[in-house]
Amino acid sequence: MDETVAEYIRRTVLKIPRDEIKVMLQKWGFLSEAQLQTLNFHQIKDNISQEVVQLCEENSADIKQAAVLDIIYNHIYQNKRMWSVYQMKKTGEELEYFDITDFKKKFKRRLRSALQNVTITFKEYEDNAIWIRVAWGTPYKKPNQYKPSYVVYHSQTPYVFISSSVLKSTLPLLCQALIVASNYHDIREMELRSHSLNSLKDIVFKRYSQNFQTCTPKPLEGGNVEPENADIRIVEENRSEKERIHRLNQEVFGSGPQPKLEFAQYRLETMFKSDPKMDVLDKKEPFRCLIKFSSPHLLESLKSLAPAGMADAPLSPLLTCIPHKARNYFKIREKKGLYPESFVSP
Amino acid sequence: MAVLRPFSMLPQLNSGVLLLVGSDEALQRQLAEAILQEKRDFNISIHLATSLPLPSERDHLRPSIDLVVFMIDIKSKYSLKNVETSLAYVDASFFLGKVCFLVTGVGRVNACSIEMNAVCKLGETYCSPVLFCELELEGVRAATAQRLVQMLRICTGHIPGVSALSFVSLMRKSDDN
Amino acid sequence: MQRRRSSKTPKQPLHVHHKSQTDLSAWRKGGKIDSEKSLQNNQSANDQKYESQEGSLELALSYFEKVQDSVALKKKSVVQRHLDVVESTALKQGLPPEGFEILLKVALSGRFADTVNTRLLKSLIPTSVIPENSVVTAVSWLCVGKCSGNIQVLFLKWLITMFDFIDHKEQLNALYGFFFFFLQDEKMCPYVCHVLYLLTRRENVKPFRIRILLDLQAKMGMQSHLQALLSLYKVFCPDQVTITLPGKMKTYFKNSEGPWKAAITAVRQRNQGISPLAQAVFLGTSRPQSRKRKWNAQLVIPASSANRLEAGREKNRLYLCGTNESFPVEQLQTFPQLLQNIHRLEFPAQMGSVLTNPLLLHYMNFVKDESIYLRLHYWMGQRLQEECTWCVVDNPCEEEFKSFLENVYKAECFLQEGFSACEEFLYKTLPLWDGVSCRSEVLKLVSWIPLSSFSDIKPYLFDPLAQLFFTSSIYFKCSVLECLKELLQNWLNCNAIQMDLEISSANTTLCGLVDAVAELVHFVGRISTVALRLENNSTLLLYFILDFYDTVCDMYLKYNLPLLIMPPAGVFYPALLSMDSVNLNQLCYIMYRYRTNLVAAKENEQSKKKILQFKFSNQTYQEYNQYLTAMVGCLWTSTAFQKDIHPQGLRMDDELLSKTAVKEIKNSFNIVYHPAMMGYSVQFLQEICPDDTTFNFKLIKGKKWDWYLEYLYNQGLKGLKVFIESSISRVSQAARSKSGNVEA
């Protein structure tokens, strides 16, 4: 077995928390149940990893198998990576039957034609998701297994989730391979990023609960507005106002839990407006400024702003449109028209 | 808009009415509960409002208010602005001892986003005492509740010989003597 | 004791493999052989637990000692294994003193990759002490420059964090110039400044160094670390550092203790957890706590020099006898020792340890060195600010902060003066105080606020205190009054001493003192009046108020201060009409002391004939006489309603009195009928005529009146006794009242 493969497997095992190593190896399925029995999981991780490498040596593992283990690890710890959503477009409306083997073949062929030294690994999951791991090399160097790209593609949808390699130059190649393999014509980044892959899926597949104006508003349940142990000595003066805030919040955010995003970023490229008489900063240059909101759970924080009395309800649509528009990176530019405050997508 | 007046209604026997105005409702409610737990010899009812004016549709239900406490969170500029706009809806005679500013958040001075000076100025302008506290800490909350009950006791006239006006003149930072 | 300690430290650093083993085991067994039995059991149990580990630690150390050529981590297994052993041992129980030289050498020699070096440095956590030799070796490797910039910085951070654990610092100080050279390195500069700040002694401050520092400052701008070092230089040589530096900075240095903080705490806890006695073995001694920085708040000063003294006795005999040699403070145990060595003492690096050490406090009081106060100020200010429980929500250790405040207070009591850091802290945080957290500790500190102009400190101290006072419970009110009494006494004491020294030459300071004290007394008078109202003339509160006036009424005689202030009517009358005999008795005593003071002042004025700058105003005499008239009228002649001439007094028209329909109304406050005295008079009646159950109080007159007085005195009403004996001349019943008054 190649030493680099052994080392790669060893390091991957070291990343896994000790009490999960066994389960993950079972999922991997490369080592037989009998082999797994021989492993002692009650020792320091370093030793476990050595033993695992030894067993793999017996089975003469190659980089393909090692890469599968890596995908399994990343599938479980997907929140450790930053994911970005891409959308693909077709010109026509031709509906095609999606064939997975065909997809794989085209994807590989396309990448290999551009770069020989790549490791490409696929793994399919139950929810129609195809996980692709690509480790990149150069024409003269073997693929660097420690800096791979991960792609999660749901067939039948135009969306791709990419956690790209630190080797930035590889991204165009990857995108090209993707559109060729899935019969699309164009791909673009949606400016939607998060650590939580599932939340991104919830947003683009519109899976999170969302109340739209068209829905018949439920009769206001007391649950959220009125405290359970209402003390008659405490009188809420602004109950109706609170109910209004609650209603507005429901309309905008829905009643369910919000998808998890960590930040939203607004790049302002608007003109500075001042009294023409003052004649300061009256330049045609845009006033550049970057505003970044960050939180462990941004949408939930935004949702609780108004009820917590930290902002007026309703919130600015700039903040509330994130899930609808499926993006958390914005560029706000001067609009040519009448409404300088509304924003234009690039 | 309806202006809050202290003497528009007859007071009730052996009771005090406190109005808490502040934008952070969770803290407000916790404080209200802490106040009700304080030992005392008269009845207290507490009205919670996020801002003034109070909604006029409840005017007929509302008893005469003895003490208005404006809550300001030093971590939130919004809370200060909210209080400043609300002050316009308080009748001037309230400021003869029936108003107090409660500044919370001193436990996170690093996250402070309003100037302490601005708050003190507010107190001076409106001739009302400014109390500092950290309502997030349970112990401090209880202590603050106790202080507010004591002020309410005076405002409702439960301590013979001490009027709200005389008391508030003691509470203010006086440079007259 | 000392012999035992010394056995832990081998006489020589390790050189060869087998020797290291013997030495290590000697170290390990050292504590065991010599300690008490209980400890022995504990130790050996402990030893067994770590037996295998220590065995492998020895192996690891010898490996690191021998390894020569650079080894890549990839082929690791061996390196990796030894590294793991070192790390786990360090985290569990710390490393023995012998380990440091070996590991520091490896880490700084650049033999391994940086990842290994970093891990090594991070695991350098001492069990007891770090030998100075090892640090000297490390510095020499640092100068060779074989390791990367990151490792250099990490080493300096380590050095700063572990500074207090290094057993002695003579040779390290000799390397001062080497450290100073590293200032030129931009990346290392802040940390080198910190090291120098810890290392600097007076003799290190040289003109050329000052010049270099100033050049650096000119080049790099006002950097807080450079300023810190410069300000220390300025303290040592104010004539040479002539630039003005900003007064007091928030923080001079960034925290360097990051990687080791948790580990040190853990090691300490584990080693302490074994047994309180074992602590002495592990950390050298059970000396008072050192509080240099937050993390080592609980740590004990390493008994470093004790080791040195024993181990190096033969070798260094001459050296030790040298006159320039400083005496290790860790060894200072007795007062005679202090006296013998007072000329060659040096403060420990951790100034905080001074707080809990009476001998060092003596010394501090004696030398009056400004640098000591600067260091203490810097350290204390930072700690107070970081840990203040009501200003830092996330600080969970209220108990620790409390005990810290308590220690500060005790040190202040010892030194008989307040710390300026403490004063600043109070001014800054009292306006934000809730009156609950650390109540007694904070109030105690308030009592040591130094005398300053009342109007200056009013907005920071008295206004917030008054606000809390009015709105808080009666118990808080009592504590505030008590603390203000202490404050008053501290002011009076300090200045009584000063006045003795300066012999009335500086009248301006006396003037300032009189003004400040007068303001304080008036302030207490005002808040007391209100408080009595708010608390419905509570007996408890009154007791504390009168306790304050107990000090006030004697200021002239006891503290030699030309000032007497009568309590306000709002205090006097509630006390006079109090329901409680203790308070009434106390009032009588206070009035007696006022009288004594006033009489003495009058006599002085008349006899000395010199023009006194401070003459009691007639108003004081007048006020006293008014009160006296009221008191005598109340308690003795039953004429208070007619004779009281105080504007807020008891005077009432007969017409009005008759409307009350109370019988014998005139008598109702004399010593027989007074509500506070009623208990005594009833008891007295029962004793003199046990058969009479009608309680005929009128019986108490003439001879029986005298008996009654005697009876009261015997019941312990001494204040009443001295008052009646001094202020009421009882020539004849008719002339009782007037003649007793002091004529103004």
In this prediction, residue C25 carries a pLDDT of 40
Q: What is the mean pLDDT of chain B?
A: 87
Q: How far is A224 from chain B (nearest CA, A)?
A: 13
The answer to whether B86 contacts chain A (CB < 8 Å) is: no
Rounded to whole angstroms, how far apart are CA atoms C726 and C575?
A: 20
- The verdict on residue C173 lying in a domain is yes
Question: Which tens digits make up the pLDDT trace of C502-530?
Answer: 544 445 567 778 888 999 999 999 999 99
Confidence of residue C262 (pLDDT cuts 50, 70, 90): confident
In this prediction, residue C3 carries a pLDDT of 41
Residues of B within 8 A of C479 (CB-CB) are none
C441 to C482, C489, C614: CA distances (angstroms): 13, 18, 37
- The answer to whether residues C741 and C629 touch, using CB atoms and an 8 Å cutoff, is yes
In this prediction, residue B26 carries a pLDDT of 86
For residue C582, pLDDT beyond 60: yes
As given in the structure block, the two tokens for residue A169 are 């130059």
Architecture per CATH, domain A239-333, reads as: Roll (3.10)
Rounded to whole angstroms, how far apart are CA atoms C351 and C361?
A: 11
Paired residues of B53 in beta bridges: none
Residues of A within 8 A of C80 (CB-CB) are 46
Task: Report which secondary-structure segment, H or E, holds A264.
Answer: strand A263-271
Q: Report the range of poorest mean pLDDT among A266-275, C91-100, C129-138.
A: A266-275
Residue of A nearest to B43 (CA): A233
Cα-Cα end-to-end distance for chain A: 51
Confidence of residue C740 (pLDDT cuts 50, 70, 90): very low
Helix (H, G, I), strand (E, B) or coil at A119: strand
Query: Nearest Cα to C678, choosing from C686, C572, C727?
Result: C686
Question: Which tens digits make up the pLDDT trace of B1-38?
Answer: 467 777 777 777 888 999 999 988 888 999 999 999 98
The answer to whether B15 contacts chain A (CB < 8 Å) is: no
For residue C173, pLDDT beyond 80: yes
Strand order in the sheet with A263-271: A286-294, A263-271, A329-333
Residue of A nearest to B24 (CA): A309
- Interchain proximity C530–B151, CB inside 8 Å: no
DSSP calls for A132-151? EEEEEEETTEEEEEEEEEEE
């202290």: which residue's tokens? B6
Chain C residues 48-107 with CB within 8 Å of chain A: 74, 80, 84
- The verdict on residue C586 lying in a domain is no
For residue A36, pLDDT beyond 50: yes
Residues of C within 8 A of A7 (CB-CB) are 74
For residue C68, pLDDT beyond 70: no
A19 to A6, A8, A64, A330, C602: CA distances (angstroms): 21, 20, 25, 42, 90
- Interchain proximity A310–B26, CB inside 8 Å: no
Confidence of residue B129 (pLDDT cuts 50, 70, 90): very high
Residue of A nearest to C88 (CA): A44
ipTM, 2 dp? 0.92
Paired residues of B90 in beta bridges: B4
Long-range Cβ pairs for the range C675-678 (8 Å, 24+)? C675/C577, C675/C579, C676/C578, C676/C579, C676/C580, C676/C581, C676/C583, C676/C584, C677/C581, C677/C584, C677/C712
Domain boundaries, chain A: 3-76, 83-204, 239-333
For residue C717, pLDDT beyond 80: yes
Neighbours of chain C (3+ CB pairs under 8 A): A, B
- Interchain proximity A237–B26, CB inside 8 Å: no
Rounded to whole angstroms, how far apart are CA atoms A270 and A265?
A: 15
Number of domains in chain C: 1
Higher pLDDT residue, A241 or C7?
Answer: A241
In this prediction, residue A220 carries a pLDDT of 43
As given in the structure block, the two tokens for residue C146 are 């074989």
Question: Which tens digits make up the pLDDT trace of C544-570?
Answer: 999 999 999 999 889 888 888 999 999
Q: HSE, CB side, 13 Å, CA atoms: give it for residue A240.
A: 5
Q: Number of residue pairs across A and C with CB atoms under 8 Å?
A: 4
Rounded to whole angstroms, how far apart are CA atoms B106 and B135?
A: 9
């991997």: which residue's tokens? A28
Torsion angle of the four alpha carbons A213, A214, A219, A222, in this order, in degrees rounded to the nearest 10:
-30
Mean pLDDT of all residues in B121-147? 90
Most confident of A67-76, C173-182, C312-321, C557-566: A67-76
Domain extent, residue C53, equals 2-258
Cα-Cα end-to-end distance for chain B: 40
- The answer to whether residues C423 and C449 touch, using CB atoms and an 8 Å cutoff, is yes
Q: Could you tell me which CATH number the domain at B16-171 has? A: 3.40.50.300
- Interchain proximity A310–B32, CB inside 8 Å: no
The answer to whether B111 contacts chain C (CB < 8 Å) is: no
Mean pLDDT of all residues in B132-142? 88
- Interchain proximity B137–C463, CB inside 8 Å: no
Higher pLDDT residue, C640 or C257?
Answer: C640
Rounded to whole angstroms, how far apart are CA atoms C741 and C744?
A: 9
Question: Which tens digits make up the pLDDT trace of C97-134?
Answer: 888 888 888 888 877 888 888 888 888 888 888 888 88
Task: Report which secondary-structure segment, H or E, holds B47.
Answer: strand B43-49
Task: Report which secondary-structure segment, H or E, holds C335.
Answer: helix C335-341
In this prediction, residue B174 carries a pLDDT of 56
For residue A303, pLDDT beyond 60: yes
Neighbours of C186 (CB within 10 A): 11
Mean pLDDT of all residues in C282-288? 32
Residue of A nearest to C75 (CA): A7
